[in-house]
Amino acid sequence: MKRHGYFFGGLAIAGGFTGVVGLLHAPVGRPLMGRLGMSCPARGVSPAAAEALRQRGVGALRGTAPAPARPALGLSLDRTRVVDVRAWASARGVACEARQRPSSVVTCTNVPLTAVWPGRIAGTIDELAFAFAPDGRLVAVDSLRRGLSGAAASRLFDELARELAAVLGPDGERVGDSTAAYLDEAPMRTARLRYRFSDYLATVTAMNLDGRVALREQYQSAL
C-alpha cells in the first residue's frame, strides 16, 4: 500500500476488529504486521466491492436507534462530496492526496488541530482520511495520531470519550483500559470506545504499537 493509503488497507474497517485492524494497516503498525506474518489484500479490489464489504461490516455493528447527532470532525456524512473536502483542505492550507482504489479516499497529512477544532492551538493529526461511496457520498472520516506516549494517548482518549458522551450519550461500549500504565505496558495493549446506532458508528481506539501508542478516531455512516 502507499504510505498514506491506510484507511481501507485491510478492507476490514467496519468489521469486528475495526480499530485493531485499521491501526495495524496504518504506517505505524506495518512493522508489527510484518512480524506477525500479515499482508495487505487491498490491491486490485474495486470500489464497489470495497463498499459492499464496508456495508457488510456496518451491518454487523449497526444499532437499532438513530443517533442523536453524527459528529464527523466537522463534516457531514452522506452529504459532503470530494469537492467539498478539497475546498476544506485548500482553505486551511492542508496537504492531501486522493486515490480511487480500493475506495475513493482523500488523505490529508500533518493536519493542525485548529483545522478541525477552531480554537485549539496545539497538536497535529498525522493522517486524516475521508472515504467516499461509489456514488460520491462521504461515508467515513478517519483520524490517526501516532507515536504517542501512554500518558498523552490516555489523556486524548478520555477527552474524546467525554466529548462524544456529551453529544451521543453515556452508553458507548468500552473495551480495554485507557490508563497510561496499561497502554504503555506492552505492544498490542488496546483501549476502544464504540457507539453503534442505526445510521452511525463512532469508534475511538488507542493501541500500543512497538512501544508507542497510536490513537485512531473513526466516524462512519451506517445508512
Per-residue pLDDT tens over the stretch 138-192: 999 999 998 999 999 999 999 999 999 999 999 899 999 999 999 999 999 999 9
Q: What is the pLDDT of residue 49?
A: 73
User: Above 60 in pLDDT, residue 5?
Assistant: no
* Residue 8 in grid coordinates: 481501507
Domain residue limits at 194: 18-221
The pLDDT of 43-49, averaged and rounded, is: 66
d(CA 103, CA 142): 14
79 in a structural domain: yes
Q: Please tell me which residue, 160 or 56, carries the higher pLDDT value.
A: 160
* Residue 50 in grid coordinates: 470495497
User: Above 50 in pLDDT, residue 117?
Assistant: yes
CA 211 to chain centre: 20
Q: Which of 27-31, 39-43, 202-206 has the lowest mean pLDDT?
A: 27-31
Whose grid coordinates read 500533518?
110
The C-alpha angle with vertex 8 and arms to 45 and 90, in degrees rounded to 5, equals: 115
Provide the domain count of the chain. Answer: 1
**What would the DSSP string read from start to end of 132-161?**
E-TTS-EEEEEEEEEEE-HHHHHHHHHHHH
195 in a structural domain: yes
10 in a structural domain: no
